[in-house]
Amino acid sequence: MRKIFIYLYCISFFLFMPDVVQANQDALSQEVQELRALIMEMKDGYEARINEMQVKIENLSEQKFIEEEKAELEKELELLFNDKDDTSGTSPLASTESTVLPLNKAVTNQFDTSGTGSWSPSQAISLWSTGNSYMNISFNGLFTAAGSTANDLEMLETGGHDPIQRGFTAQNLEIAFDGAIDTYFRGFSNIVYQLDKAGETTVEVEETYLTTFSLPLNLQAKAGTFFTEFGRLNPTHPHTWNFVDQPLVNGRFFGADGLRNPGVRVSWLAPTDNYTELFFTVQNSQGETAASFRNNDGLFGRKAVGTRVRNTKDFLYVPRITTMFELTDTQTLLLGASAAYGPNSTGTDKDTLIYGLDMFWKWKSKYASYGFPFITWQTEVMGRRFEAGEDVDANLPSDVMHNWGAYSEVTWGFKKRWVGGLRGDYVDGLKDATDPSGVERLRISPNLTFYPSEFSKFRLQYNYDDIIGNDNTEQSVFLQFEFLMGSHGAHKF
Amino acid sequence: MISKFLTCIIFVFAVSWASAAYAKLNIVASTPDLGAVAKEIGEDKIKITNIARPTEDPHFVDARPSFMVKLNKADILIEGGLQLEIGWLPPLVMGARNNKILPGQPGYLTASTGINVLQVPQVVSRAMGDVHPYGNPHYMLDPLNAKIVASHICARLCLLDKENCKYYQDNLKDFIKRLDKKLTEWEKMLEPYQGTKIVTYHRTFPYFAQRFHLEVMGSLEPKPGISPSPSHINNLVPMMKSEGVKLIIIEDFRERKTPEFVASKTGAKVVVLPIMVGGRKETDDYISFVDYNVNQVVSALKNE
């Protein structure tokens, strides 16, 4: 009997056991699920809280900055007012420090973390330097190999940085420095080395100037020695040009090195919706970098008379206006007008006026890759009114000379790294001129440029030179190469 | 005559000043993706101008002077911060003569602060191509980074426009909530394809790949900024075959010849993605932009 119970028990055990286990398992998995849900909920909650905290921290730190600023201001004010009563406690040094510091503090504490301690990748980078240095340095080398039907290539080429002989020319070896000077100014300097035909190295200070960051009333000032803001090509450096040599008209009116001198420039950005900027430059008017003005060599066969600054009449005055239109989403047009007015050296009261119109148009694909493809068209037309003084020794009377010239160039970035270009050049003849530097000329220059990268280029150019005034034609071929090391300054549009 | 001219100028000043005083906050963003995130926070309390076009290569943007005018009137400039803009932004800021947006001022915002930057080079040399010395600047392709940028922008807007701070904070919360919800969706969509091997044209997509667990095996460019060369492609093709690379991801503005050639040799698929908001008409805000990209990748992998 007992055995039967045992058997029954065993049977029932085996019969019901799975159900019990099952039931247990169900309860367990349900529990696990609940736990999971709970954890997920907690996770969500934590994430939301973390986000919230992040925002809070952000706000708090900003708040802290405001408070700091306030405290600083209070302190300053206190110092300012205490100064009157108590000079022993606060030295003038302390007070200047406290007025300068808040700004710097703001820079390092809050907005520019790259200034503090060692740098880490997650920190912000300031807009103005490529690293932890105060100054960017770059070196640019520009060389050309030339072949020409003319044996005196330097007579054909008007620029100081143009190829000057058959064979090789070191056109431009340029060191450029730039950086923020302090909170108020930005500095730029560019020193150029050249090798002349005799192999002698010469150094010239091309530009050195400061520019203000933020003057009131939308004004900006530039002071130092710099290229005059006249037209589009004159203010730029040879390595940014689209052709191996400079346009004839620039060479003739502005001289081999372009129009540049020590001086001051003020510009005003109009508060209109489209871009319009007015420039006004005052510079010295003497020297070889002001060729149409008080050049030491005189002009039109006359000797130089006066080249010293006597009063404000002896400066060079250069107004310029430029304005821009967005024609379509991909096309931009810039128009400009400039004038340069100053005395020339052929007499004590003789003046020169150069005036010019310029335009620049650019199309760039909506889907530009590496900046390609694009088409640009740039044209400048210039005229010159030159009052030539009387030169008794040379038997030349006083006279007024009118001359003009123009160039127009098209570049086509037809394929990544490849740019084709075509330029037409014209200058009229100067009175009594006999050599190519003064007679009427027409020049056509097609070229092709290959950019292995932004930092190097190779350029092949052909010049067909119709020297109309001499009834002569000359042809030249140039192969140019350029390299750039160091910081790469942003391109001007 | 002169007095008339002067009155005219004074009038222009007065009008511009008066209109500036009552206008919305003017924000200039260097790229449209930064602008799009700012839009989420500021909505109709701000006015946004983007400098780079959404379709073009952001490394090579023209410094058109019209942006000087925009920057001149800006209250805030948002810059990416990893030298993506070094070739075109500095002269614009210099020409803008606006003290408010200079580095160190509250109106100058570096969006990359706090972002875990990828591919920071140990040694910097141009022999390695156009490497960004501070690391890869295409961080906005990872939606989590957009959260960080959004909170920076919110904080800055609060600082400059305290009255509407609550509004900005609410927008930030809402944006983060929407983004988080979508992020789980996106992650789920791409979960089956974890570890998929890809090749990109330029090093544009490491942040995107990292977020969604794709493995970048190489790029069509031999070095950053250097266009594909035959010898490099020659090495790349066998590697892609042996590794089983499934996708070639390229930006909208790239030429198609090389990627398609490589695709035909390896059996990988070319996927073309916009890299900034507005790059395609379906991508008019930040979330739809990421959504579009994720969907493109998923549908390419689905049809494998």
The answer to whether the CB atoms of B94 and A186 lie below 8 A apart is yes
Of A127, A273, A364, the CB nearest to B62: A364
Considering the domain architecture, whether residues A466 and A375 belong to the same structural domain is answered as: yes
The answer to whether the CB atoms of B225 and A186 lie below 8 A apart is no
- Residue B7 has a pLDDT of 62
Q: Which sign does the torsion angle of CA A33, A39, A45, A51 carry? A: negative
- Residue A132 has a pLDDT of 59
Considering the domain architecture, whether residues A332 and A447 belong to the same structural domain is answered as: yes
Q: How many CB atoms lie within 10 A of CB A266?
A: 16
| Cβ pairs A/B, distance under 8 A | 191
CA distance B267 to chain A (A): 25
Q: Average pLDDT of A418-424?
A: 96
For residue A422, the Cα-to-chain-centroid distance in whole angstroms is 24
Percent of chain A with pLDDT over 70: 79
A332 membership: H or E segment, kind and range? strand A331-343
Task: Indicate if the pLDDT at residue A1 is higher than 70.
Answer: no
Interface test with A, best of B73, B82, B94, B226 (most A CBs within 10 A): B94
The verdict on B6 touching A (C-beta cutoff 8 Å) is no
Considering the domain architecture, whether residues A317 and A465 belong to the same structural domain is answered as: yes
Q: Are strands A260-269 and A219-227 parallel, antiparallel or unpaired?
A: antiparallel
The answer to whether the CB atoms of A491 and B87 lie below 8 A apart is yes
| Amino acid at the residue A140 | N
User: A301, A396 in Cβ contact below 8 A?
Assistant: yes
User: A490, B87 in Cβ contact below 8 A?
Assistant: yes
pLDDT, chain B, mean = 89
Domain presence at residue A130: no
Of B91, B93, B147, the CB nearest to A492: B91
Band of residue B82 on the pLDDT scale cut at 50, 70, 90: confident
Of B13, B55, B63, the CB nearest to A366: B55
Considering the domain architecture, whether residues A287 and A320 belong to the same structural domain is answered as: yes
**Which domain range does residue A469 map to?**
139-169+206-486
Band of residue B6 on the pLDDT scale cut at 50, 70, 90: low
- Residue A359 has a pLDDT of 97
Considering the domain architecture, whether residues A72 and A151 belong to the same structural domain is answered as: no
DSSP sequence for A45-66: HHHHHHHHHHHHHHHHHHHHHH
Considering the domain architecture, whether residues A149 and A108 belong to the same structural domain is answered as: no
Considering the domain architecture, whether residues A61 and A145 belong to the same structural domain is answered as: no
The verdict on B19 touching A (C-beta cutoff 8 Å) is no
Quick check: helix, strand or coil at residue A113?
helix
Of B66, B108, B158, the CB nearest to A275: B66
The answer to whether the CB atoms of A121 and B135 lie below 8 A apart is yes
The answer to whether the CB atoms of B227 and A417 lie below 8 A apart is yes
Distant-in-sequence, close-in-space partners of A436: CB < 8 Å, separation ≥ 6: A155, A156, A465, A467, A469, A470
Residue B202 Ramachandran class (φ > 0 left, ψ -120 to 50 alpha, else beta) = beta
Band of residue A114 on the pLDDT scale cut at 50, 70, 90: very low
Q: What is the dihedral of CA B268, B269, B275, B281, to 10 degrees?
A: 180
CATH 3.40.50.1980 domain extents, chain B:
15-182, 190-302
Domain presence at residue A76: yes
pLDDT digits (tens, 9 = 90+) for B116-169: 999 888 887 888 887 888 899 999 999 999 999 999 999 999 999 999 999 999
A349, two tokens: 């009261």
Enumerate the residues of chain A whose CB falls inside 8 A of the CB of residue B115: 122
Q: What is B190-302's CATH topology?
A: Rossmann fold (3.40.50)
DSSP E strand boundaries for chain B: 25-29, 46-50, 76-79, 108-110, 197-200, 215-219, 247-251, 269-273
Task: Indicate if the pLDDT at residue B216 is higher than 80.
Answer: yes
pLDDT digits (tens, 9 = 90+) for A10-69: 565 555 555 555 555 676 778 778 878 888 887 787 778 778 777 777 777 666 666 676
Considering the domain architecture, whether residues A155 and A87 belong to the same structural domain is answered as: no
Q: What is B15-182's CATH topology?
A: Rossmann fold (3.40.50)
User: A366, A340 in Cβ contact below 8 A?
Assistant: no
Q: Which residue has the higher pLDDT, A191 or A85?
A: A191
Residue B83 Ramachandran class (φ > 0 left, ψ -120 to 50 alpha, else beta) = left
The verdict on B188 touching A (C-beta cutoff 8 Å) is no
The verdict on B216 touching A (C-beta cutoff 8 Å) is no
Q: Which of A189-198, A291-300, B2-11, B175-184 has the least mean pLDDT? A: B2-11
CA distance B85 to chain A (A): 9
Domain presence at residue A61: yes
- Residue A371 has a pLDDT of 87
CA distance B82 to chain A (A): 7
Domain presence at residue A309: yes
Task: Indicate if the pLDDT at residue A87 is higher than 80.
Answer: no
Of A66, A123, A269, the CB nearest to B68: A269
The verdict on B122 touching A (C-beta cutoff 8 Å) is no
The verdict on B81 touching A (C-beta cutoff 8 Å) is yes
pLDDT, chain A, mean = 82
Domain presence at residue A348: yes
Q: Which residue has the higher pLDDT, A478 or B10?
A: A478
Task: Indicate if the pLDDT at residue A124 is higher than 70.
Answer: no
Domain presence at residue A131: no
Domain presence at residue A94: yes
**Most confident region among A54-58, A390-394, B244-248 by mean pLDDT:** B244-248
Q: Residue A319: is the preceding peptide bond cis (ω within 30°)?
A: no
The backbone torsions φ and ψ at residue A156, rounded to the nearest 5 degrees and listed phi first, read: -80, -40
Q: Which residue has the higher pLDDT, A14 or A309?
A: A309
- Residue B38 has a pLDDT of 95
CA A318/CA A423 separation, integer angstroms: 27
pLDDT digits (tens, 9 = 90+) for B268-292: 999 999 999 999 888 999 999 999 9
Considering the domain architecture, whether residues A104 and A227 belong to the same structural domain is answered as: no
Distant-in-sequence, close-in-space partners of A209: CB < 8 Å, separation ≥ 6: A187, A188, A189, A222, A223, A224, A225, A226
Bridge partner list, A202: A194
Considering the domain architecture, whether residues A63 and A159 belong to the same structural domain is answered as: no
Task: Indicate if the pLDDT at residue B18 is higher than 60.
Answer: no
- CATH number, domain containing residue A254: 2.40.160.10
Of A103, A183, A493, the CB nearest to B63: A493
CA distance A434 to chain B (A): 43
Q: Produce one character per residue of B150-177: b if its CB has 16 or more CB atoms within 10 Å, e if not.
A: bbbbbbbbbbbbeebbebbbebbeebbe
The answer to whether the CB atoms of A367 and B253 lie below 8 A apart is yes
Q: Which of A48-57, A443-452, B198-207 has the least mean pLDDT? A: A48-57
Band of residue A246 on the pLDDT scale cut at 50, 70, 90: very high
- Residue A96 has a pLDDT of 33
pLDDT digits (tens, 9 = 90+) for A448-487: 999 998 889 999 999 999 999 989 999 999 999 999 988 7
How many domains does chain A fold into?
A: 2
User: B145, B152 in Cβ contact below 8 A?
Assistant: no
Considering the domain architecture, whether residues A101 and A161 belong to the same structural domain is answered as: no
Considering the domain architecture, whether residues A210 and A282 belong to the same structural domain is answered as: yes
Percent of chain A with pLDDT over 90: 45
Q: Which residue has the higher pLDDT, B64 or A123?
A: B64
